[in-house]
Amino acid sequence: MSKLAIAIHGGARQDSEFIRNNLNGYKEALREATEISFTLLKRGKPALDAVEAAINYLEDCVLYNAGRGSAINSVGTVEMDASIMDGKDLRCGSVAMLRFVKNPVTLARHILEDSHHILLGGEGAIEYAKHKGVVMEHESYFVVPHQYDLFMKRRDQLSKKEKEELKNHGTVGAIALDSKGNLAAATSTGGTSFNKQGRIGDAAMIGVGCFASNKSCGVCATGDGELNIRSIAAGYVSMLMEEKGMSVQEACDYVIHVKNKNAKGDMGLIAIDPSGNIGMSHNSVLMHRAWMTSDQDFTQKVYEK
């Protein structure tokens, strides 16, 4: 039986008073998501089930910027992105500019399993969700107090330039290695505060926000989506491992600290290779992250490098 492993992130970002005041809540949510996922792996469930369960839990948590708790865009609404990928056969599914769907990553998995498409967005994605019978919620469900307060406070106080520069990351991602040696990766986000309506971030893009291949690794990116898009962040980690023979940690470090050493923004990566080795790297003040394997107990870091 393959070594079991799960790794989860809750976003690479700058510090804030809200994070410091709710740090225990952030940590407890990551612990719960990790333990739920690892329990599934121990029961012999596939890696896809484990990453979907982890992301679902964090999408339902009001603290993280995904699902409920998503950032509010420039017109006062929530639009969500998500993706999921199976490392066994490279099947994948993703959604963009999504509204009303309680758990965007679950809709992305429906696309992976039941559609010949990969990425659905906007109204088409919503109609597909209704067709698949996924759980829907009213728009008010997604707007939680701290995001609404941030929107209202900043709406009239900030200049247009300041709003564009406002960073409120919190993308969530998960990678798993199951008992059959298969990898899977998934990610979900509510975008960034005051982003333009219709903005699509890295979390919806296979090979950027997440990627999984049993030949190299499962990997999720976080931070400034535009930086990850420009550098093809997740896919580049896989390429370095498969083509250059780098270890999972070496590849993550190279993408963050060498390839993007001059990046003016936050970037972070988590990854697992087919042997269950875990790599993590970030250039930001903090990155919420946790992991557990067959031979390593639950471990969590926030501010530590």
Which positions are catalytic?
Answer: 171
CB 245 within 8 A of CB 221: no
Alpha helices, H only, 60-103: none
Q: Rounded distance, CA 134 to CA 114, Å?
A: 13
Q: What DSSP character marks residue 297?
A: E
Q: What DSSP character marks residue 101?
A: B
CA distances from 30 to 7, 24, 153, 237 (A): 10, 10, 28, 24
Q: Rounded distance, CA 208 to CA 202, Å?
A: 6
- Whose structure tokens read 């031979």? 295
- Which has the closest alpha carbon to 118: 252, 210, 216? 210
The DSSP-derived string for 166-185 is ------EEEEEE-TTS-EEE
Q: Where are the beta strands (DSSP E) in 21-168?
A: 80-86, 92-98, 119-121
| DSSP helix/strand/coil, 9 | strand
